[in-house]
Chains A and B, each alone.
Chain A
């Protein structure tokens, strides 16, 4: 479903991505882990099109992503959850989600208010992420954990076929983390999920396969069990230098 080959991204002299290969099957839950600066968020930014790839190719299903803009990729079904919340602060939680749903039908309905069906769908999504009783609250007034939930809601509401989650549990309490992990675990298997995470419990719980990134390269890939036993991964995380 997601097919990334030889992906490179340079920033001046710095190689944030130095040739990443990543193939994710449809319906798979793939976790991408690695120490800070490994290139995980850059990977997401390039895949969604917010950053240009310096070289390499990306496909979503049969579609080549390279020439497409961010919004075109989103329309194909490649939807992202941001690491730092990108919400519509003055709008209520419900209005936030409505904007996401509204994107499916298209923006050019100048004389129509959002249909009943859209409002119901928005309410349903909010319930799924656990914000049903906060739907009228402006996004800026929600707690950090709730904002994270809303962030996820925005991505889910878009009815993606491939979901990119950037540290979904960042800054959450154990209870909130549990709820989000439940939610992700319960997502339909028609959805392909790529998830960047630091919380290893969440990773090992949710992932079918794990890809380990270090200095812009994939250094290991496999099932959770394989990765847990991998020597290189161990060294990287404990800070020992890797011979190039």
Chain B
């Protein structure tokens, strides 16, 4: 690893350690528990947004149906855990990844036949189909009432039921996902995705099977969204059709764009901003409206997102 990479890794690790131990060192603060809960949710959605960023920011595939895999993973984790009667983390998380990946394979196979705005429309519509299934398959998913009574997982004897324990689990998973995406972004595969985004025609002329490349990114992103979904199921002990709804897909998209598409830190920043607006803003203020206005403002004035804007300022 080069020196700058080593420095970056050290910073990331330091930040992560501070974050992971937050419940401990902030214990005197009266809002500590509330803040820890918010941070958990931010991290969960940061994973979701990061997975979408792989599609939108790197491969240039504007997907508006990513919630299908988030919620799909959540449902898979919850349903399998209940049906098999086990709380083992590897089982439910594995089911989430497998379920989300399979779903992404089916949706992606149809969707990558289209490009640009048509791809967007297609992912939107296909995700709505998943929503319809979640809503109507009451025996399987609990229908409009949702799937409640999801247990927090157990990993080889370690119980993650307590809020602070779950906090650690979420932090650990978030770190792993971040490291994976970091590797991916700098790898030949990540470069190939960027190539497809910048000039798909040229990539094909150079010998890249771009359709399969896009599909693989779609499945990978879906699988990671499934991971976030499983964590969400553990966090709220509940899965609802809202988790596969258009609103969740849009929220993810907003997070990616506001944070900075195509950057590693962007989606995390975006998740923090969006969740802060949604959860911390007093209930009288219209969170969705604020989000909508902020989103529009970013699209018009700061298309590169916060991270992009900061980078440009630093360079200037």
Contacts and interface: CB of A to CB of B under 8 A. Distances in A.
Is chain B in direct contact with chain A in the complex (CB below 8 A)?
yes
Interface of A: 48, 50, 69-72, 74-75, 79-80, 82, 86-91, 95, 98-100, 102-105, 107-114, 154, 158
B189 A74 contact: no
B198 A88 contact: yes
B184 A110 contact: yes
Contacts of A109: 187-189
A70 B204 contact: yes
B202 interface: yes
B311 interface: no
Given A71-B208, A114-B188, A107 B202 contact: no
A86 B205 contact: yes
A113 B202 CA distance: 21
B210 interface: yes
A99 B183 contact: no
Given A91-B198, A99-B195, A154-B202, A71 B209 contact: yes
A99 B206 contact: yes
A70 B198 CA distance: 18
Interface string B203-230: 1111111100100100000000000000
Interface of B: 183-184, 186-192, 194-195, 198-199, 201-210, 213, 216
Contacts of A113: 186-188
Contact of B205 (A79, A90, A107, A114): A79
19 contacts: A50-B205, A72-B209, A74-B206, A79-B206, A82-B205, A86-B201, A91-B198, A99-B206, A103-B203, A103-B206, A107-B192, A109-B189, A110-B189, A110-B190, A111-B183, A112-B188, A113-B186, A154-B202, A158-B207
A88 B195 contact: yes
A146 to B, nearest CB: 17
Contacts of A102: 188, 191-192
Nearest to A81: B205
Contacts of A158: 206-207
Contacts of A99: 191-192, 195, 203, 206
B186 A100 contact: no
B186 A107 contact: no
Contacts of B216: 108
Shortest beta-carbon contacts, A-B, top 7: A74-B207, A107-B192, A110-B189, A86-B202, A88-B198, A103-B207, A109-B188
B187 A80 contact: no
Contacts of A87: 199, 202
A82 B199 CA distance: 13
Contact of B187 (A50, A70, A91, A112): A112
A59 B172 CA distance: 55
B194 A48 contact: no
Contacts of A108: 189, 216
A92 B216 CA distance: 26
Contacts of B204: 69-71, 74
B21 to A, nearest CB: 29
A72 B204 CA distance: 9
Most buried by A among B183, B190, B202, B210: B202
A88 B202 contact: yes
A108 B202 CA distance: 18
A208 B208 CA distance: 32
B191 A100 contact: no
Contacts of B188: 102, 105, 107, 109-110, 112-114
Given A99-B203, A102-B188, A113-B188, A91 B194 contact: yes
Contacts of B191: 95, 98-99, 102, 114
A110 B199 CA distance: 20
Contacts of B199: 86-89
B293 to A, nearest CB: 29
Given A86-B201, A91-B198, A102-B192, A75 B207 contact: yes
Contacts of B208: 71, 103, 107
Contacts of B189: 107-110
A11 B186 CA distance: 43
A105 B208 CA distance: 10
